[in-house]
Homo-oligomer: A and B are copies of this chain.
């Protein structure tokens, strides 16, 4: 069974890792659109267009299911991807919401990029289930992580700036609606002491149970649209071993 995973960049490798841990035998093709990263500051139309192009590339590689490892793309493009292509499509939003509903006592916080929060994708699904929802866009979190500032004074102040209102609202569960945010988990947990923090990569891997079979040759292929800075370092950091990526120096074809 061959599964395709795409993200705007390298953050989605955390999802790849979780999927691999749960399905050691499947074949995985990963695409990171580093030539156009980030998606979180683009319009919904552009995010949908980019997502269709990424999906088409993976389907041309023969994948039989698609995992959208980017929260912004998951928020806007999952219905379009399901319409266009005849394979199962799993985004990160629904599994994260289900996990939150399993754990919450009634007050859930959601943080993400401006585009993810503006989409209302998490908020709608949580409200339908009858819980109180508090959401906040945290545009500085991704740059902080990419700058390596995953803890310390500046990061603590930015965490306080963004999460103060969620703390005051006394949320009991927080969804990290961006693949970069798990790297800030320690400072976030420190600030929101007793709050349950949900990292959706495990939830996504769990959601694939019943959709895909754990069989294949255990291969992993990595494609990126640009050789961005620290690419090899980040691959080894997240996956725990050096894997050579293929760079698509012309990007992915238009759909």
Contact = CB atoms under 8 A, between A and B. Distances in A.
Interface of A: 34-37, 41-43, 45-46, 49, 114, 118, 139-140, 142-144, 146-147, 149, 153-154, 157-158, 161, 225-229, 249-250, 254
A227 B157 contact: no
Interface centre among A34, A143, A153 (most CB of B within 10 A): A143
Given A154-B161, A161-B154, A229 B144 contact: no
B46 A35 contact: yes
A1 B153 CA distance: 52
Contact of A157 (B41, B153, B249, B250): B153
Contacts of A139: 143, 146-147
- A41, A149, A161, A225: most-surrounded residue (chain B CB, <10 A): A41
A252 to B, nearest CB: 12
Contacts of A146: 41, 139
B140 A144 contact: yes
Contacts of A45: 226-227, 249
10 contacts: A35-B36, A37-B41, A42-B226, A43-B228, A45-B249, A46-B226, A46-B249, A118-B229, A139-B143, A139-B147
Contacts of A147: 139-140
A46 B229 CA distance: 12
Contacts of A250: 49, 254
Given A140-B147, A147-B139, A42 B35 contact: yes
Given A43-B228, A139-B143, A140-B149, 12 more contacts: A35-B42, A43-B227, A46-B226, A46-B249, A49-B249, A114-B229, A139-B146, A142-B143, A154-B154, A154-B157, A154-B161, A250-B254
Nearest to A139: B147
A42 B140 contact: no
Contacts of A249: 45-46, 49
A254 B142 CA distance: 29
Contacts of A226: 42-43, 45-46
Nearest to A36: B36
A255 to B, nearest CB: 11
A228 B41 contact: yes
A84 to B, nearest CB: 17
A45 B251 CA distance: 12
